[in-house]
Structure 1
């Protein structure tokens, strides 16, 4: 029991230090790893070695992937590709299903672009569509936010899911993580959209900050700032080509060897490695760079991507260090004998991630910390198989959605850009993320009944 109390105290320390003391999650996780080493009475000379090995091990496996994915997202964001994606979806669906259209746009854009940035980029488009189709702005805002949020927490190359997959030893199985993640994200995006539909016909007073709401003209001005927008093929290919290559590489590696073991197998296995696949995506993204100074533009975008990726890399590495210390402690054996009889399985990582997300606000921190914490416990939870680990990533992602409220930067992005009163945002956006998290977990549990 003392071993479990130490773990609870460590979780409480991470939450309190990041919320009350405003300590950066990197320092909080690193400190938790040190404290855990002493609390679990690891040999003093081994504590720092274990921390360094855990830190370097996870970044060695997944660090380059995080950086490349972030750089691609920055290029897509700056080039206007997100606007092209949105307009392509509108052309395909028309204007008959406004909330569904916004949800699909968010679902697609947030695969490479952070949900906060995606919302800011698409805000004017969302407002223009709401005005044109005479639909409640609150409904459109929640549909866009929940669509963005779904792929943000489930689908690589978004850094949170990639880091969780890395912590659980799935670096060579990202294709499977992407395939399952796209399905679970689709279900949770649909749940968010259905909740958004409750507000379609409601006349909700918005906050008046003295400026008029953006209109179709404002969106036209925003669109014009990008100049010549990329084509749909140019906009989507840097996302879909890496995903396709990773998935084909995973299929080629199936034990049944469906593509044989010749040259095709060798090429797909090489190109399907996440780093190589994302390098192809980056090459395609470079075609979006405009003007004469393309080399300087590429340098600037890479620099922006590295700056954006740095905090994620540090948090991911610190999470790996924390997980390595827990793995070296006697905690795994004790929890194994305790949890195996309870049958909690996938619900354990979900509840831990939900507690961390609700307490400290960051979905990425919840994904990294929870995955590092449960990695040593996979066998004891009955999830020590490839599909078991994939579904564990999905369960953690579901918890990392539950719930977005005042301590989450995304909550304030949605609230401020949509001009929703905070009370309305809690009813609309916060409840939507609660529904998404619960529906996501139920979907993962149903998948486990079939796939495990």
Structure 2
């Protein structure tokens, strides 16, 4: 989707964006209009008000909607299929029980968060969260209370790794644009992500989770819904862990080989390398994992016909989630296409702050204005790259700049962010509750990352 030259000034575009968000919140929270309808309506009106030519409005809407669905729908659908099979065979419960046995009931949220940090190293936020859904729900069902007590620390762990640590595309692109060293960014990024997660996501998430109770849709059914024959013979822990590690290994191979091809160590036209890169694409890796789960879990438990019925049952509840997430991407896409990002970066580029503070503020403004964390991260990195070169910063300080920009692109997730809708709908939250939980957690996580980066910037 091309970003047009802004038809109006920054002040006008910011006003349009603010009014659009306010109207959207009123329609959903006060009028009780379905979020999908509200998002599509506000996106269309915002596109017109922002000066996008009328003939281009339909294409702009479809580009934002389709682009988001392309990255979300396959992952969510394949993920819940895998989750349904693990849930119905008792595999998710086996994994949950093993984690609890190692960490104890009181440390269950910590156990899930640490597991998510490990799995989040190569896996994107949305894919990792979908894979962990049955485990989160199994633990919550076992111990009672709000699912958010377990969901928020887990989702925060995936968010931290996705935003800060290579090989995720955002930090890789930012480091590259500013001439930094990706390897050093990875080495420093892991401890920064872990500490920031514990302070900004685990402590905050568990506190919020104990206070707020939600009722998520039963997308994986209930362990007691009449399939006792299947659950009576659960798979072994090693089999369940192997199924979860399988996509992780494929995605790691993809990342490693792609890096070697870029560096010239592996020829770019090597057929075997291209094949492994293909197998490690996240949708392909999840597809192969679902097929492998049928081979591992089905024999002696259910027929292929029964497996199809189980997966059909899982797909129904997520249709609304996928559509609303796509509509959220549509709204964010309209704001990006309007040129608000271009206007904002030009207005903020002359700020007289320290470079790390300036980078954080610009990324934050872009994140709030147009929703996409990746756009905020890469745009900000490109904007400050000239100053990085002029100041001749070393690789360590470039890495700290990457973290500061990632922090700004994480905070204040709201209605123009597709991830906001994904998390809210998965865990049964309305818009108000999502703002009180996920928006708060993303903000404290981002602030924790920035404060760590700023401290290291001053000390070193």
TM-score (norm 2): 0.63
Distance 1:375 1:330 in 2: 12
State the partner residue of 1:379. 379
Return the offset for 1:106. 5.6
Aligned partner of 1:39 among 31, 41, 49: 49
Change (3 A) 1:195 1:9: closer
Is 1:231 the counterpart of 2:236? The answer is: yes
State the partner residue of 1:150. 156
Is 1:337 the counterpart of 2:337? The answer is: no
Change (3 A) 1:442 1:21: same
State the partner residue of 2:277. 269
Change (3 A) 1:379 1:275: same
Aligned partner of 1:241 among 246, 252, 268: 246
Report if aligned partners of 1:142, 1:193 keep a CA contact under 8 Å in 2. no
- 1:36-435 maps to which residues of 2 (within 5 A)? 36-93=46-103, 95=104, 98-105=105-112, 108=115, 111-113=128-130, 118-123=135-140, 125-126=142-143, 144-151=150-157, 153=159, 186-187=194-195, 190-191=198-199, 226-254=231-259, 255-258=262-265, 261=268, 262-286=270-294, 287-289=296-298, 291=300, 293-342=302-351, 344-346=358-360, 370-371=371-372, 375=375, 378-379=378-379, 382=382, 399-400=412-413, 434=440
Return the offset for 1:335. 0.9
Report if aligned partners of 1:184, 1:443 keep a CA contact under 8 Å in 2. yes
Report if aligned partners of 2:113, 2:154 keep a CA contact under 8 Å in 1. yes
State the partner residue of 1:443. 449
Distance 2:310 2:202 in 1: 33
Distance 1:42 1:432 in 2: 31
Q: Judge which range, 430-439 or 11-20, deviates more.
A: 430-439
Alignment RMSD (CA, Å)? 5.0
Report if aligned partners of 1:54, 1:322 keep a CA contact under 8 Å in 2. yes
Aligned partner of 2:14 among 4, 24, 38: 4
Q: Judge which range, 144-153 or 238-247, deviates more.
A: 144-153
Return the offset for 1:79. 2.5
> Which ranges in structure 1 are unaligned for 5 or more consecutive residues?
128-136, 157-163, 171-175, 199-203, 208-217, 357-368, 414-424
Report if aligned partners of 2:196, 2:452 keep a CA contact under 8 Å in 1. no
> Which ranges in structure 2 are unaligned for 5 or more consecutive residues?
1-10, 117-126, 163-167, 175-182, 214-222, 352-356, 386-398, 415-419
Distance 1:256 1:223 in 2: 53
Aligned residue for 2:13, secondary structure, equals helix
Return the offset for 1:371. 1.6
Q: Judge which range, 289-298 or 63-72, deviates more.
A: 289-298
Change (3 A) 1:149 1:292: closer
Change (3 A) 1:325 1:370: closer
Distance 1:9 1:196 in 2: 30
Give the count of matched residue pairs: 371
Return the offset for 1:31. 1.7
Post-superposition Cα deviations, 1:413-447, rounded to whole Å, max 9, x if no partner, equal: 9xxxxxxxxxxx9xxxx799957741443226646
Change (3 A) 1:289 1:113: farther
